[in-house]
């Protein structure tokens, strides 16, 4: 490594271990880049893209918006858009000019935020012998030596800053999605309980209302994904209980009427696209049940699980093809009973109605119906209407045009 003297602060500023370490770390990185040992990291970065990333990642570096305003001002004193950290990048504004470009910030405030940028490892002070900021040039007008603020550590930290910013953005996306899910669950549970109370349905609806109240507190703006996931999962479990209780309270006549209404709706509105799993299409022969297993023309078309030996599924094959469903289990999935309870929670979360779920179990058989729910969860982002898609597959199975095994095979192939 090229020998360098540590640059100490002018006047009353004290030399600290973190400043010394930053200087040595910066010098080492610059030597590595000069020697071609920097790998893909060239030490260069677009200064405005880097500033935008740092705005997102500012909490990680303990920076306030005012500190970023000062950094923004310092970047304007560097004429090039690209920061090249392989060499010192010293800017030397006067206090007055720096204050003007920092929206009139006072000298004391400037010093505080400059110290924060140095403490965050993004800036180095290169103080002159008399503490002034200036540039010394040679006879040809080329910069020979400059004293001021070195932006090289900022450029060298570009990869880390962008990674931290992306993690913050991903967290924000997750929080936004979770908040939306929580709002929908709260609304659906509240309306179901309200309907049950208005219709004087049998069931412990007062207890459900009390439990819902305990989960309906205001969501803090600072709530992280961990707390939101816990509340979402608690609401999913409560929603499953409430919907099952409401379903159990319906009479046979009501159940029949609702099913007829749902069937009429499905037959007249088929907007659900196919499940986008490479290698699988329920409309082709690859997804069809073998001819020998199709129902005879005189049969009712209701295919029971016991009549379809080829549709036997092992729990191991289900979990290998659809591992995501494990994340929604309370105590793991060791038996089909565990899988059924977890699938019941998942179908509620996906917005699949109890009647569609019940019909799928009746026609496909419980293991196959659970497997379809797990498959829909695995590719939830590709399916616009999970409930409509489940009914579509159930109808295909009723007509002898659907088998679960090609779907499992396609899912396993997509994961490989």
Do 79 and 112 fall into the same domain? Answer: yes
Q: Calculate mean pLDDT across residues 273-284.
A: 47
pLDDT tens-place string over residues 137-153: 777 666 767 888 999 99
Do 137 and 188 fall into the same domain? Answer: no
Q: Kindly tell me the burial class for residue 414, based on how many C-beta atoms sit within 10 Å of its own C-beta (0-12, 13-18, 19 or more).
A: middle
Per-residue confidence (pLDDT) for residue 233, from 0 to 100: 92
Do 278 and 346 fall into the same domain? Answer: yes
**Is the separation of the CB atoms in 19 and 150 below 8 Å?**
no
Q: Is 67 within a domain?
A: yes
Do 150 and 54 fall into the same domain? Answer: yes
Do 318 and 336 fall into the same domain? Answer: yes
**Is the separation of the CB atoms in 87 and 152 below 8 Å?**
yes
Q: Residue 97 to residues 70, 79, 89, 387: CA-CA distances in angstroms? A: 12, 15, 18, 63
Domain boundary among 229, 249, 269: 249
Binned at pLDDT 50, 70 and 90, residue 300 comes out as: very low
Residue predicted with more confidence, 246 or 19: 246
SS3 296: coil
Q: Is 1 within a domain?
A: no
CA distance 152 to 174: 34
Domain boundary among 218, 249, 280: 249
Do 131 and 62 fall into the same domain? Answer: yes
Per-residue confidence (pLDDT) for residue 327, from 0 to 100: 82
Output the DSSP codes for 308-373.
-GGG---HHHHHHH-GGGGGG-SS---SHHHHHHHHHHHHHHTT--HHHHHHHHHHH-HHHHHHHH
Do 298 and 378 fall into the same domain? Answer: yes
Q: Calculate mean pLDDT across residues 287-312.
A: 43
Q: Residue 243 to residues 203, 235, 248, 357, 364: CA-CA distances in angstroms? A: 11, 12, 9, 12, 22
Do 276 and 402 fall into the same domain? Answer: yes
Q: Is 64 within a domain?
A: yes
Per-residue confidence (pLDDT) for residue 259, from 0 to 100: 44
Per-residue confidence (pLDDT) for residue 54, from 0 to 100: 95
pTM value > 0.85: no
Q: Is 327 within a domain?
A: yes
Q: Is 161 within a domain?
A: no
**Structural domain boundaries enclosing 376:** 253-416
CA distance 147 to 91: 8
**Is the separation of the CB atoms in 319 and 333 below 8 Å?**
yes
Residue predicted with more confidence, 58 or 217: 58
Q: Is 7 within a domain?
A: no
Per-residue confidence (pLDDT) for residue 61, from 0 to 100: 92
Per-residue confidence (pLDDT) for residue 256, from 0 to 100: 56
Do 279 and 372 fall into the same domain? Answer: yes
Domain boundary among 132, 156, 180: 156
**Is the separation of the CB atoms in 295 and 400 below 8 Å?**
yes
SS3 205: helix
CA distance 67 to 58: 10
Per-residue confidence (pLDDT) for residue 344, from 0 to 100: 85
* Paired tokens of 163: 């990674």
Q: Is 3 within a domain?
A: no
Do 364 and 377 fall into the same domain? Answer: yes
CB-based contacts of 268, cutoff 8 Å, min separation 6: none
CB-based contacts of 209, cutoff 8 Å, min separation 6: 193, 197
Residues of the chain with pLDDT > 70: what percent?
A: 77
CB-based contacts of 323, cutoff 8 Å, min separation 6: 378
**Is the pLDDT confidence value at 282 over 90?**
no
CA distance 110 to 352: 57
Per-residue confidence (pLDDT) for residue 275, from 0 to 100: 46
pLDDT tens-place string over residues 89-141: 899 898 899 999 998 999 899 989 998 998 898 998 887 776 788 777 777 66
Do 244 and 257 fall into the same domain? Answer: no
**Is the pLDDT confidence value at 11 over 60?**
no
Residue predicted with more confidence, 248 or 221: 248
**Is the separation of the CB atoms in 48 and 100 below 8 Å?**
no
The chain-wide mean pLDDT, for the chain, equals 79
How many domains does the chain fold into?
A: 3
Per-residue confidence (pLDDT) for residue 16, from 0 to 100: 65
**Is the separation of the CB atoms in 356 and 391 below 8 Å?**
yes
Per-residue confidence (pLDDT) for residue 248, from 0 to 100: 83
pLDDT tens-place string over residues 189-212: 999 898 888 888 888 898 988 998
């Amino acid at each position: 490594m090229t020998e360098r003297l540590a640059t100490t602060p002018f006047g009353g500023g004290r030399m600290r271990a973190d400043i010394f370490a930053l200087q040595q770390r910066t010098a080492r990185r610059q030597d590595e880049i000069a020697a071609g040992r920097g790998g893909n990291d060239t030490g260069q970065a677009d200064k405005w893209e880097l500033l935008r990333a740092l705005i997102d990642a500012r909490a990680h570096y303990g920076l306030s918006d005012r500190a970023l305003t000062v950094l923004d001002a310092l970047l304007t004193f560097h004429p090039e858009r690209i920061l090249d950290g392989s060499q010192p990048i010293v800017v030397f504004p006067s206090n007055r000019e720096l204050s003007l470009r920092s929206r009139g910030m006072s000298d004391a405030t400037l010093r505080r935020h400059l110290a924060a940028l140095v403490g965050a490892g993004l800036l180095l002070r290169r103080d002159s012998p008399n503490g002034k900021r200036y540039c010394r040039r040679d006879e040809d007008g080329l910069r020979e030596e400059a004293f001021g603020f070195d932006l090289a550590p900022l450029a060298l930290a570009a990869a880390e800053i962008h990674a931290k910013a992306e993690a913050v953005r991903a967290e924000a996306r997750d929080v936004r999605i979770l908040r939306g899910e929580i709002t929908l669950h709260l609304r659906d549970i509240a309306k179901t309980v309200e309907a049950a109370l208005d219709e004087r349905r049998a069931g412990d609806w007062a207890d459900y209302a009390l439990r819902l109240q305990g989960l309906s507190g205001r969501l803090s703006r600072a709530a992280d994904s961990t707390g939101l996931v816990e509340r979402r999962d608690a609401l999913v479990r409560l929603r499953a209980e409430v919907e099952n209780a409401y379903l159990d309270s319906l009479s046979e006549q009501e159940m029949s009427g609702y099913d007829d209404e749902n069937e009429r709706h499905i037959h007249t509105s088929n907007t659900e696209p196919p499940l986008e799993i490479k290698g699988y299409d329920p409309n082709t022969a690859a997804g069809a049940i073998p001819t020998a297993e199709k129902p005879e023309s005189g049969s009712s078309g209701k295919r029971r699980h016991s009549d379809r030996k080829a549709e036997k599924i092992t729990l191991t094959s289900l979990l290998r093809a659809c591992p995501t469903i494990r994340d929604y289990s309370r105590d793991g999935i060791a038996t089909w009973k565990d899988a059924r309870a977890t699938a019941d929670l998942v179908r509620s979360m996906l917005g699949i109605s109890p009647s569609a779920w019940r019909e799928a179990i009746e026609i496909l058989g419980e293991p196959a119906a659970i497997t379809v729910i797990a498959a829909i969860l695995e590719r939830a982002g590709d399916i616009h209407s999970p409930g409509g898609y489940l009914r579509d597959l159930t109808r295909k199975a009723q007509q002898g045009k659907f088998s679960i095994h090609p779907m499992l095979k396609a899912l396993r192939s997509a994961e490989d």
